[in-house]
Structure 1
Amino acid sequence: MRKTLAILAIAIAAPLAAQSAAPQLPGQKDASRITGGTYQADSGHSLIEWEVNHFGFNDYFGLFGDVAGTLVLDPKNPASAKVDVTIPVSKVVTASQGLTSHLLRPGKDGGKPDFFGASPAAARFVSQHIVVKGTEATIHGNLTLNGVTKPVTVEAEFVGAGANPMSKKETVGFHGEATIKRSDFGVMGALPVVSDEVSLDITIAFEKA
């Protein structure tokens, strides 16, 4: 009986011991790790996914990468944070080369392009007012896309903070979601059979400058 109890105790304790010995991730959801100052977007690890509905059959999506810009933080007053990021629309990618080319091709016979057109200007989002609730924030700002500026709201959540083991820089990361109407920005291709509403899924990291 004692031997059985001992084996049972070892069986229970072993996973707990292994768990406690597991290495801690560099980034943790701990706001006390955040220090004030200006942070630069980690362009290599920040992405914006966009998603639209195609003809009512299915959704398809693509990505914007190489996000650049700044985040100014004051941990004592998180609502005073300022975000200013640019998104290189010309670097849009999808899983289909044909679709990517369609997004970036010029308009026919000198007309307006279906979507972004050749060599489109980068988009820019600048925060105007931020409401913070715990580890979540509602970021009200202005998005400039295709030469048009409109108010856009991003629902953001703090993911983690800590020292990046590669760059050795203090890093903070966030996840965000937003919805826009592309017609607001003059991106009119295939409306309404390709949805006007575009869902944006944002993952972004900032490193201390």
Structure 2
Amino acid sequence: MNKLLGALLCTLATGAASAAPITYTIDPTHTFPSFEADHMGISVWRGKFNKTSGQVTLDKAKGSGTIDVTIDANSVDFGLDIMNDKAKSAELFDTAKYPHVRYKGKLDAFVNGAPTQVVGELTLHGVTKPVVLKVNSFKCIPHPMLKRDLCGADASASINRDDFGIDAGKPYGFKMDVALRIQVEAVQAP
């Protein structure tokens, strides 16, 4: 009996160690990158993007993975049409010239099987800069309807928008720091 149990445990350990990375497709109905930006030091403007796509690969056994996300900059949403139009203009995102925002990175610093950060690069307004996302929460579960793995995360970072060539309002005292908050869910690809 002990030999059988030992063989079974050895087989399970070998299977877990050789598990391949899993590819997940970002769920656009549960992923909304958002941001907070200063408005002359008197208030904070909050916005989000309504259209996001991309993929995540995750190798739980090795504690590694990647993310590649594309955001439709024209989907910017402040909840106010006049501000949405302003954000799309050449003064801010200039969506006619730069219709997409992209983030590519590696899942990193795994603790108890979950990444605690993503080390990557953000391409915004035609400029690519390193950005490290802090992963505030990360969890995978079986999707109750699709019966495939579902992973979700909440991540945050701060960027200086002036570094990306977006300096609207700077002469009026607008702070250039922007807080990023990213909620993301991704389903194992079929």
Q: TM-score range by the shorter chain?
A: 0.7 to 0.9
- Structure 2 contact 137–154 (Cα < 8 Å) conserved: yes
Partner of 2:169: 190
Code of the residue aligned with 2:53 in structure 1: it is A
- Structure 1 contact 67–86 (Cα < 8 Å) conserved: yes
Normalising by structure 2, report the TM-score.
0.81
Partner of 1:9: none
The 2-side partners of 1:114 and 1:201 are apart by 23
Return the structure number with greater strand share: 2
Aligned positions, number: 167
Q: Secondary structure at the match of 1:45?
A: coil
Are the structure 2 counterparts of residues 38 and 179 from structure 1 closer, same or farther at C-alpha, using a change threshold of 3 Å? same
Runs of 4+ in 1 over 4 A off after TM superposition: none
- Structure 1 contact 84–126 (Cα < 8 Å) conserved: yes
1:126-145: CA deviation from partner (whole Å, max 9, x where unpaired)? 11462223445121111111
> What residue ranges of structure 2 are gaps of 5+ in the alignment?
1-19
Q: Secondary structure at the match of 1:99?
A: helix
The 2-side partners of 1:141 and 1:203 are apart by 17
Partner of 1:71: 56
The 1-side partners of 2:136 and 2:88 are apart by 32
Normalising by structure 1, report the TM-score.
0.74
Partner of 2:99: 121
Q: CA deviation at 1:199?
A: 0.2
The 2-side partners of 1:124 and 1:144 are apart by 5
2:157 is the alignment partner of 1:178? yes
Partner of 2:143: 164
The 2-side partners of 1:94 and 1:162 are apart by 32
- Structure 2 contact 21–65 (Cα < 8 Å) conserved: no
Range 142-151 or range 65-74, more displaced: 65-74
1:16-63: CA deviation from partner (whole Å, max 9, x where unpaired)? xxxxxxxxxxxxxxxxxxx94111101110011100111111111100
Are the structure 2 counterparts of residues 61 and 178 from structure 1 closer, same or farther at C-alpha, using a change threshold of 3 Å? same
> Which of the pair has more CA radius of gyration?
1
Of 94, 111, 116, the match for 1:137: 116
Partner of 1:100: 84
2:130 is the alignment partner of 1:151? yes
Partner of 2:188: 208
Q: Secondary structure at the match of 2:77?
A: coil
Tell me the C-alpha RMSD between the 2 structures. 1.8
- Structure 2 contact 37–179 (Cα < 8 Å) conserved: yes
Are the structure 2 counterparts of residues 155 and 118 from structure 1 closer, same or farther at C-alpha, using a change threshold of 3 Å? closer
- Structure 1 contact 87–123 (Cα < 8 Å) conserved: yes
Partner of 1:20: none
The 1-side partners of 2:163 and 2:70 are apart by 19
Are the structure 2 counterparts of residues 208 and 129 from structure 1 closer, same or farther at C-alpha, using a change threshold of 3 Å? closer
Partner of 2:46: 61
The 1-side partners of 2:120 and 2:71 are apart by 15
Are the structure 2 counterparts of residues 71 and 168 from structure 1 closer, same or farther at C-alpha, using a change threshold of 3 Å? same
Return the structure number with greater helix share: 1
1:143-175: CA deviation from partner (whole Å, max 9, x where unpaired)? 111111000010013433222234333200001
